[in-house]
């Protein structure tokens, strides 16, 4: 396992603490398979040649699922459960962006995200993005992505994850 990969795994666990939050998506092998079936661009990474330095996860969904999530009627985990491969995707949940410290503020996460959104939009009538920010930096990144893709951004605020 490369040093970058070990650092990325630690970063994800420290940032999101998914083991202690049942509302969050804890990405399993079966989740990875479903995400790939939903769309190959749900997961993306940037590798500097020494292993991953940025991971992006997004889930294309329906606007109905988006509204349920924004209204706290469903959990993050249920976004994936309620989304099926092959359906028409009208919204994209910006689930997570993890970047090693020395690679931050270089546009890597924004560029990877925009490229993935463009790929998903090429076959779907995506009309909105949504996010549940873990940090102020995550919120700012989501706003930049929305601006770049010219899509409205909806934010779930009631439980910012940095407040855990």
The 10s digit of each residue's pLDDT in 132-154 is 988 899 999 999 999 999 999 99
Q: Is the pLDDT of residue 163 over 60?
A: no
pLDDT band for 24, please (50, 70, 90 cuts). low
Q: Which CATH class is domain 3-163?
A: alpha beta
Task: Give the pLDDT of residue 52.
Answer: 87
Q: How far apart are CA 5 and CA 8, in angstroms?
A: 5
Residue 18 pLDDT level (bands cut at 50, 70, 90): low
The answer on pLDDT for 22 being more than 80 is no
Q: Considering the chain, what percentage of its residues have pLDDT values greater than 70?
A: 83
């Amino acid at each position: 396992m490369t040093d970058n990969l070990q650092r990325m795994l630690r970063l994800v666990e420290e940032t999101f603490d998914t083991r202690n939050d049942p509302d969050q998506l804890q990405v399993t092998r079966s989740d990875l398979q479903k995400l790939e079936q939903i769309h190959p661009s749900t997961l993306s990474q940037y590798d500097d040649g020494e292993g991953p330095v940025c991971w992006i996860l997004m889930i294309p969904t329906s606007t109905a699922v988006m509204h349920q999530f924004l209204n706290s009627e469903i959990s993050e985990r249920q976004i994936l459960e309620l989304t099926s491969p092959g359906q028409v995707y009208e919204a994209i949940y910006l689930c997570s962006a993890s970047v090693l410290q020395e690679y931050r503020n270089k546009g890597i996460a924004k560029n990877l995200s925009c490229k993935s959104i463009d790929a998903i939009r090429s076959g779907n009538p995506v009309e909105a993005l949504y996010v549940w920010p873990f940090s102020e930096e995550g919120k700012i990144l989501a706003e930049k992505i929305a601006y770049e893709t010219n899509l409205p951004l909806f934010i779930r605020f009631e439980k910012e994850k940095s407040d855990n």
